[in-house]
Amino acid sequence: MVTGTARLIPRWYAVTVVTVLVLFTLGLAAATAAFADDLAGRSMWGLVACAALVLVAAVSSLLRPRRRREPEVTADGTRVFRAPALTVWPLVLGWFALLATAAVWGWVALTDFDALESPGFSIVAIVGALASLPDLVRLLTGRLHRWTLELGPEAVTYRGYRTDATVPWKDVKGAAVQERGPAGVRIDLRGGGTDPVVPITAFDVPAEQLVDEIVRARKGARG
């Protein structure tokens, strides 16, 4: 069993990110309230909503205390760890708000380009929204995943964003805490395969618990 809990997310980093997001959201809301007087301007509230939702996700991901918690256990004994709802759903809703804002700006650009207050920024947002459409298709077809770690009787499964990897226990050597790139838990595989890394920012339990759970599940499967 891994003892102690390492601080994988530096406090200064978490505070800095959240502070910047708070100031950005408040500044954007104030500017929108002061100057939004047409369709393009009022659509900026979508961007304010996006920023606020990203802030909620950041607080959940970076500032939430990570304590050992019991996971969901399915009928076959699979232990399931999922990313907290407050980390996941605000990101999805913020994405939709950004897409809606970009759609309005795209319409304004086609019908009255001079009405755009910041054409360069608007075009960047529109291009970014278009670039994200393949991921929107993945989301709608179930191929964009909520971060989940499943420790079953025969295999370990990690899903996160575009990743969906299932590895039989016989191919798992163990697990270890990884401090950077990203910070989380590295699942050590046999052979030359790429070791999956479970990012700790996506979960509300300490990395040490995930390591212990993986090692215990592997030993249980061997037996």
Enumerate residues 6+ apart whose C-beta is below 8 A from 205: 66, 67, 68, 69, 71, 81
Using CA atoms, how far apart are residues 114 and 61, in angstroms rounded to an integer?
40
Query: In what order do the strands lie in the sheet containing 197-199?
Result: 172-178, 184-189, 197-199
Tell me how far CA of residue 146 lies from CA of 40, 58, 164, 182, 194, in angstroms.
Answer: 33, 16, 10, 17, 21
In whole angstroms, what is the distance from residue 98 CA to residue 109 CA?
16
% the chain with pLDDT above 90:
70
Say if CB 53 and CB 86 are below 8 A apart.
no
| Whole-structure pTM value | 0.88
According to the model, what pLDDT value does residue 28 have?
93
Choice among 39-43, 112-116, 194-198 with the minimum mean pLDDT: 112-116
Cite the DSSP H helix spans in 36-132: 39-42, 44-58, 85-111, 119-131
**Per-residue pLDDT at 90 exceeds 90:** yes
* pLDDT in the model for residue 211: 96
Query: Residue 4's pLDDT is what?
Result: 52
Return the pLDDT at 67: 93
